[in-house]
Amino acid sequence: MNSKLLKRVMFIGITCLTLSGCQHSQHRIAHHDPARALEHLSESLDLSETQRSEVAKFVKELSAQEKELESMKRSWYDEAAAQLKNPTIDQKRLDAFIVLQKDQTGEIMGKAAKVFVRFHGVLTPEQRQKLADELYSHAVKHQ
């Protein structure tokens, strides 16, 4: 995967995690709850009712995109398992699968970027700064 695509995938992942309510426990993989995300953003950013209404739409949209990413992840596992069961790698099939994954990822990232732009426009400069600080803290904590 080239570095430009990797950066885009990381951007969409961080955006989805931030707006979908990433919740970790010691013994589980992250669970994402849109209602929890909305509550967290409402409380931590002290959103007005108008902002909350708009952010609820963004969270819902990103939650749907997150489900698409999870589906893609499952299909990657299925493909890898199928390839491992074969005596040799089917390179044509693998290449076609990678092209499909890149195309789907690009579509999802485009949708998420549009939501991100709208989300940015709803927040005040102070709220954006606070969320940027939270994003950085989250990234450092989960490295």
- 69: closest CA among 105, 110, 40? 105
The confidence score (pLDDT) of residue 24 equals: 46
The confidence score (pLDDT) of residue 18 equals: 53
**Cα–Cα distance, 46 to 20 (Å, whole number):** 17
**Cα–Cα distance, 37 to 93 (Å, whole number):** 38
The confidence score (pLDDT) of residue 8 equals: 56
The confidence score (pLDDT) of residue 34 equals: 84
Facing residues of 25 across strands? 28
The confidence score (pLDDT) of residue 3 equals: 56
Rg for the chain, CA atoms, rounded: 17
The confidence score (pLDDT) of residue 96 equals: 93
* pLDDT in 10s for each residue of the chain, 143 residues: 555 555 555 555 555 555 545 444 433 333 468 888 889 899 999 999 999 999 999 998 888 888 888 888 899 999 989 989 999 999 999 999 999 999 998 998 899 899 999 999 999 999 999 999 988 887 788 77
The confidence score (pLDDT) of residue 32 equals: 65
The confidence score (pLDDT) of residue 67 equals: 86
Contact 20, 63 (CB under 8 A): yes
